[in-house]
Amino acid sequence: MLSKRNITVLALLTALGLVALWLLSVPRGLTLADLPQHQPDVANGEILYHAAGCWSCHKPGTDLKDVDPNLPAGGFPLKTPVGTFYPPNLTPDPATGLGTWSDLDFVNAVQRGVSPAGANLIPAFPYTSYAHMRVEDVLDIKAYLATLPAIDSPARSAEIPFPALLRRGVGLWKWIGLDTTPWEPDPVQSASWNRGSYLVNGPGHCAECHTPRNVFMALDTSQALAGGPHPEGEGRVPSLRGLIERGRYKDAKDIASALQFGEMLGYDKLSSGGMGQVQRNIAKLPEADIQAIGEYLASLK
């Protein structure tokens, strides 16, 4: 049986453990000192906005009837294993959008998964990939978003169980699930291969679906882009390795053509499981960027 002394020790240890968990789950963001001096480039921001596929999740909800459907006004339901989210309004509306956000607010949300109020964001928002991006590119996306018409689209509450607890849990998860290493070029490879590698592994966040996850729901980098179960339970996500060797595509140009035109040229494999939207986003990139993605993907064995 437990003695009084043992109970006291146990209670102390539990309290200590809870404090440790609390401290470990505190959201950690960047500070102003981490931001570079940067003159924003709106045109580059528009390219990165499409490469990052922002619109696909932040598209307007069906209740926003008079809103241009191409604007990232938010509110369209996003179903995930933990519940339904309504990704927020990215237009510059001061009350309901990003109008009052500082550069630091934006970079912390996009690259560290921390909201301006200091809460952990749920990683259905792929900041785990955006963390590898150049900060300058993230600032350019913000500058591009600021040029869009402001839409009044109030936040909708997520339908998730225990949201506060879940967000603290995400803080713990970030210790294993969030790798903030900046993307590095491979000096042996060509400039366009490196551009493709950056677009795929940073803004493109291909790994979020194409890399399988381990028991901690963190990306299993030993099987990078090797395919796995579909995160929304719609069958299997294909591997992006050996696309040429397995006869999926003829060569790098063929992959680029598939990404650029999709089924407009009869490429019928990238429509299902959400890839149709990804393809339409990629089609908006400059052709050289699409070729670069093809070159990089063709090299994955």
Partner 1 sequence: MLGFRALKTVTAAALLLGAGVVSASADATSSIQARQACMKANGAVMAVAVPIVKGEKPFDKAALDAAFAKEKEACAGWADWWGDDTKPGGATETWAKEEVWTDKAGFEAAGAAYGKAATAVAAAADEASFKAAFPALGASCQGCHEKFRRPKG
Q: Which residues are at the interface with partner 1 (CB under 8 A)?
A: 227, 230, 234-239, 261-266, 268-269, 271-273, 275-277
Query: What's the rounded Cα separation, in Å, for the pair 135 and 130?
Result: 9
* CB 294 within 8 Å of CB 196: yes
Query: What's the rounded Cα separation, in Å, for the pair 130 and 183?
Result: 10
When the beta carbons of 80 and 277 are compared against partner 1, the nearer one is 277
Minimum separation from the CB atom of position 256 to partner 1 (A): 13
When the beta carbons of 184 and 251 are compared against partner 1, the nearer one is 251
Minimum separation from the CB atom of position 210 to partner 1 (A): 11
Minimum separation from the CB atom of position 105 to partner 1 (A): 34
Minimum separation from the CB atom of position 259 to partner 1 (A): 13
* CB 292 within 8 Å of CB 199: yes
When the beta carbons of 141 and 207 are compared against partner 1, the nearer one is 207
Cα separation values, 14 from 7, 17, 165, Å: 10, 5, 18
Q: Of 289, 200, 183, nearest to 243 (Cα)?
A: 200
When the beta carbons of 115 and 277 are compared against partner 1, the nearer one is 277
When the beta carbons of 38 and 248 are compared against partner 1, the nearer one is 248
Question: 165 exposed, middle or buried (CB, 10 Å; 0-12, 13-18, 19+)?
Answer: exposed
Residue 231 tokens read as 């995160």
Q: Of 177, 198, 200, 55, nearest to 123 (Cα)?
A: 177
Minimum separation from the CB atom of position 19 to partner 1 (A): 45
